[in-house]
Amino acid sequence: MGCDGGTIPKRHELVKGPKKVEKVDKDAELVAQWNYCTLSQEILRRPIVACELGRLYNKDAVIEFLLDKSAEKALGKAASHIKSIKNVTELKLSDNPAWEGDKGNTKGDKHDDLQRARFICPVVGLEMNGRHRFCFLRCCGCVFSERALKEIKAEVCHTCGAAFQEDDVIVLNGTKEDVDVLKARMEERRLRAKLEKKTKKPKAAESVSKPDVSEEAPGPSKVKTGKPEETSLDSREKKNNLAPRSTATNESSSGKAGKPLCGATKRSIADSEESEAYKSLFTTHSSAKRSKEESAHWVTHTSYCF
């Protein structure tokens, strides 16, 4: 097959050797890390946030990723450790006054200097283009160069004055070793937060249950320590004292309900001080009573039976 028509193949065309490893351009890699979002691959624009591993994101892209959890994207692996918006920190970046951006390149015939960065270190003035190591503080979000933190050693932020510890310093776009260290710190921090939540829950439950127990359980002064006979006599005396009160209350309530007690006396209208016209309305009045001669031996004309 082949080699016809006078073709003369060379050795490298017939013998296949090992494939050469493709080298990545370092300058292009730095530009992609420091100028583009790790999640959406768009140009970084404020507000810019960083995760606990030191990667840069657009805040809008992180919010969309958290809301759209059903979509499994290839780029989602880079942000799989971000579970909520609390896992990222908004960065306070200092603008570079020498950076013009696309203002001077309106015609497209001007050379773009990729080494010129948009942001700089506010202490030393180094440009944040990947040539120098930069880091940020989790407590406040301020960004500095690593050289500034080493030269000016302090336990307080250089710009806002917030106190920080070594665990709060996170390297931006660090090496694999830096990422491994940051990942171990992140896991320890999250385990510590879970344990704190578990310890807070039983404490809150105890604080809620303690006042209820104190109200229900009587103290030592309220408990009566006496003989059972004396306590029974006291209870009987109390019942006897409460009996007349209960009868009085029953009499007052019976007047409202219309069911008088058996021991209560009926009130007669004849003895009342009402007018004669009012008394004549009732059957107990003398005008309603008739003699035996007037009344017949059967009841047909009246409903009263005397």
| The predicted structure's pLDDT at residue 11 | 83
Distance CA 267, CA 192 (A): 83
Say if 168 falls within a structural domain: yes
Say if 254 falls within a structural domain: no
Say if 176 falls within a structural domain: yes
Distance CA 116, CA 99 (A): 7
| The predicted structure's pLDDT at residue 300 | 55
pLDDT digits (tens, 9 = 90+) for 23-35: 777 888 888 889 9
- Give residue 260's pLDDT band: very low, low, confident or very high (50, 70, 90): very low
Contact 116, 128 (CB under 8 A): no
| Confidence (pTM) | 0.57
Say if 60 falls within a structural domain: yes
Q: Give the distance, in angstroms, between the CA of residue 249 and the centroid of all CA atoms in the same chain.
A: 55
pLDDT digits (tens, 9 = 90+) for 159-202: 888 898 888 999 999 999 999 999 999 999 999 988 988 888 77
Range of the structural domain that residue 119 is part of? 26-100+114-200
**DSSP H or E stretch at residue 146:** helix 146-151
Distance CA 73, CA 96 (A): 34
Residue range 234-256: mean pLDDT, rounded = 49
Residue range 75-93: mean pLDDT, rounded = 86
Say if 91 falls within a structural domain: yes
Number of domains observed in the structure of the chain? 1
Say if 109 falls within a structural domain: no
Say if 149 falls within a structural domain: yes
